[in-house]
Structure 1
């Protein structure tokens, strides 16, 4: 297996909210950029990745796919609609007028009142076939995989984020045979799964879906009832497990691994948290956060498996940007923001990223996150998709550290002395995303081989942690974070926690020194609290030493003086897909 780095969630000028916000980078330019080309951003700046990607999905919204480009260009047939004529003027005026178009578009979508020309199914299908033609032209097996996909953008109830990216294993010949689902068709996730079933039955192809931004769902992403209030059952649980093998745990609109209020003992949980409200910045009500974060869902999935016979939240973890600029940007020192207004400039730290009726979220809170690594047999659509389906993937907040995570019953400390953890891991256990095999004896304890190698362009490694979730004998969800290997000669304190690694960050100059931390870490760890009667889930979290955040680079370059509320230092990290344990039947 080889690690392949990529982006599964990028929007271009073919997404209606992106083009209305000023994005002019189209799918073709976005894919050229991902392959290493220098392109011109929507604000006229030259931009290039430090290192090309191995694969990418342009996941433009299926709603009004490409149609708003015609509105911007003044297509007479579209401008015959008074509302689209009004939007044409706003988009071309730019600034606040263009932002007003985006807000109105999202509002009307939630009300089901978009102009008929925007929701026309024939036009949408024609645009889809043009999109797949562009993507197909960039696919180069062995070198770069241009994967076909789209975002189904359910904002159920008015801004409650239930978005999914639909990723195809197939090429244009199959993808063109069934019109992509839109939220004009439905906003209920299980009806998206019905569409996926229909696609596979009619074409013989394969698709999967990746939910994202549970932190903006106002309690709906991992709820135990459907958005329209129906209780979930065994069939629903089986369908979600089948169609949604992954979850996007980190992106520009926040990291949703775990909320600090739900894990007060986890000192690293308070990381790039967006918790003011949903996409419309509608404030959260008590109890919503409990159903928005990945770790809570992984634990709740164990509980639901006891109740329903199937774990609906048995997902791997990936990262992506969700950038709406046509520029996938996850590097702190090369961050091009979420929208054109968020591209590098002296004003961007004080601007609003979201503003709905005076409810605002500042641009500086956007994160330069994230990326996905897949462990695949080769660089091809099929191999990358297969790795996603079996969950042998992990997400990072931007750096490209290499991470291995295996579980089994035969690992021993000497296995951490080798230089090829992959060979040992596959030989003695199962990789991230898999289930532990049955225990060989009643007193067996699972072991985990975990290893990480730093990104040569990023910070050294601080530590590797294993996060465990389980359901106790009283049917209560529990969790614990274990420091399993760390840099330097630090010793755990009386509370069992390893002290912080320290910091070498020079904020004023946006620099740091790799004089602390390690270039690589590896260990074999056995669960000291294992109970063979209790379901459990384990995943690894790899932490770098602190490094400058994009806000520090901006301040140093533009000479800004950020306010005290602005975060200037970041602790980058990786999250592996979990490994699950189930008691013998």
Structure 2
């Protein structure tokens, strides 16, 4: 009966899931010009619509055997097989297990490292030209042997890269360019506009200073004919992000194409991802701020190596901040020093962006929020019950209950600390590379920790309670406001306050919804950054206490059987909310955070499936899945 209710709810809401921005150049639309996104319809409410009916699901951060660290760790699934898996095909994992997605993706980016792209696959296959180098020959033997020998080869490769002593055969730009053209050919063969989009991309993998994660994924709007004209940048070329922006600018000038970059894993940057100076110690300036805003419109807020929305020590009153936190150190698990964390988390960066805008006149950290897996297995899975780990050693097995995900000279991160996260939703007008890229560039995107939660978020000056009863909030949202990723129109009257229309629909494969929160950040009159979290709508008959806290939704998780009941929470939530504490003289941003009811974590599924799994008492067995929308910004300047 509960499942029937959910299906009925979904059927009722699906016609309303149509909201997006429509442009041909990735810019913003004028909400007053309704004809830009809704042609004069006839009887059919769908005829003439030129904005999305549903979000398009995928990810921009998957590695295959063409990434050197992935193949060194035992990954043998290449780009072709990874793309077939993303389209819904059942494949065999690196450890010989059948695996399939619950539902196909709509799009994906194979973001293999540009460093030594595909070269290590040739080393392992025994390419005689490469094995003429004694170091590469030793690595080939070790990686083919597997086990400790493979680990030793991988660690040596990482160490030599950090020292700048990688064999010349790996860093040869001509070899890399040849492999790049081979990869774009594979991706091109899987691109099917209107049905499945295979976007071209790569990861630029700066580990500045030894494991400080400044990685970016470069995403192309274009196809092979453009992408093949300029060799991808590597960290062998540079490890400074603004020099990546130079490369991007050169690409666009030379080809007429378009690219954007997505920073990720700020929580492993040891204070560098959102610092107010460049990694090489130069102070940022107006030009730097303008370029960062231009080239990096979105940020990866959650992935398997942790969620970096906010750290609990930075927001001690946020009861949901302590979620899949990795804060031991950087990629080499080099311990953090005091003061680093505040430059690693998205909410702090969004607040700091307001302060920098007051100083420079431009906000370098004006980014949207997305999720992806960063899986290095060639298998993109983000569902708790279908989690295939980070590397082959963390694919499903009883051993991963005690295994190490990372071990650098005794500094260990355990496999159970890996998160089964995340996914990216794009409000694109059609399933094509250009439409998806345009939506990313205008920040009309959001991220989840795995479930396909439908979320819509609009901001304006006229939303009211009656709007929350609409079954077509998409057209209404554009008519009266701007979507996630946008800027509020200038304040219409001195006493006006911004209002927001926010709606969420549960993933039918996952838990009911607990609540929707709106996270506000602002710059006060003294120039200090502030934040506050508002519970704006929730499931069940609950109340807010005198301290403004909403009572918990409850917990139906049966850990022993890795199950739960959707007898609490709500299948869908929608409301119109107005900021009760608005100050029109200060800059602010708002984003929505949607929380599910508690459900079993992947570790609970492992404990049930592998009877001899030895999870200790410190291992979490429950999770609260969530979605994060891109913000909407307000500026007194309009």
Distance 1:103 1:479 in 2: 42
Deviations 1:204-260 (A, max 9, x none): 000000000000000000000000000000000000000000000000000000000
Which of 98, 107, 110 matches 2:162? 110
Partner of 2:336: 284
Does structure 1 residue 367 correspond to structure 2 residue 419?
yes
Partner of 2:29: none
Partner of 2:5: none
Helix, strand or coil: the match of 2:219? Answer: strand
Distance 1:355 1:494 in 2: 47
Distance 1:528 1:459 in 2: 31
Post-superposition offset of 1:502: 1.0
Does structure 1 residue 570 correspond to structure 2 residue 636?
no
Partner of 1:555: 607
Post-superposition offset of 1:90: 1.1
Post-superposition offset of 1:584: 2.6
Does structure 1 residue 19 correspond to structure 2 residue 71?
yes
Does structure 1 residue 76 correspond to structure 2 residue 76?
no
Distance 2:306 2:586 in 1: 32
Post-superposition offset of 1:379: 0.3
Post-superposition offset of 1:493: 1.2
Partner of 1:581: 634
Partner of 1:245: 297
Distance 2:598 2:224 in 1: 43
Which of 167, 179, 203 matches 2:231? 179
Does structure 1 residue 128 correspond to structure 2 residue 145?
no
Partner of 2:379: 327
Distance 1:108 1:231 in 2: 30
Q: How does 1:486-525 map to 2 (within 5 A)?
A: 486-525=538-577
Q: How does 1:10-89 map to 2 (within 5 A)?
A: 10-89=62-141
Asked if 1 retains the 8 angstrom alpha-carbon contact of 2:401 and 2:614, the reply is no
Q: How does 1:155-554 map to 2 (within 5 A)?
A: 155-554=207-606
The runs of at least 4 aligned residues of structure 1 exceeding 2 Å deviation read: none
Deviations 1:456-493 (A, max 9, x none): 00000000000000111111110001000001111011
Post-superposition offset of 1:561: 4.0
Distance 2:243 2:234 in 1: 11
Does structure 1 residue 92 correspond to structure 2 residue 148?
no
Distance 2:579 2:549 in 1: 16
Distance 2:517 2:589 in 1: 14
Partner of 2:6: none
Partner of 2:9: none
Distance 2:574 2:373 in 1: 28
Post-superposition offset of 1:126: 0.3
Partner of 1:140: 192
Distance 2:325 2:188 in 1: 37
Distance 2:600 2:614 in 1: 15
Helix, strand or coil: the match of 1:347? Answer: helix
Post-superposition offset of 1:14: 0.1
Deviations 1:360-389 (A, max 9, x none): 000000000000000010000000000000
Post-superposition offset of 1:105: 1.5
Q: How many residues align?
A: 585
In the alignment, structure 1 segments of 5+ residues that lack a partner are none
In the alignment, structure 2 segments of 5+ residues that lack a partner are 1-51
Asked if 1 retains the 8 angstrom alpha-carbon contact of 2:307 and 2:323, the reply is yes
Distance 1:279 1:561 in 2: 26
Between 1:472-481 and 1:104-113, the stretch displaced more is: 104-113
Distance 1:33 1:365 in 2: 25
Helix, strand or coil: the match of 1:74? Answer: coil
Distance 1:500 1:561 in 2: 31
Distance 1:461 1:32 in 2: 32
Distance 1:216 1:102 in 2: 20
When the two structures are superposed, what TM-score results if normalisation uses the length of structure 2?
0.91
Deviations 1:128-184 (A, max 9, x none): 000000000000001000000000000000000000000000000000000000001
Distance 2:318 2:135 in 1: 50
**How large is the Cα RMSD of the aligned pairs?**
0.6
Partner of 2:38: none
Helix, strand or coil: the match of 2:574? Answer: strand
Helix, strand or coil: the match of 1:376? Answer: coil
Distance 1:393 1:244 in 2: 14
Asked if 1 retains the 8 angstrom alpha-carbon contact of 2:221 and 2:259, the reply is yes
Post-superposition offset of 1:581: 0.3
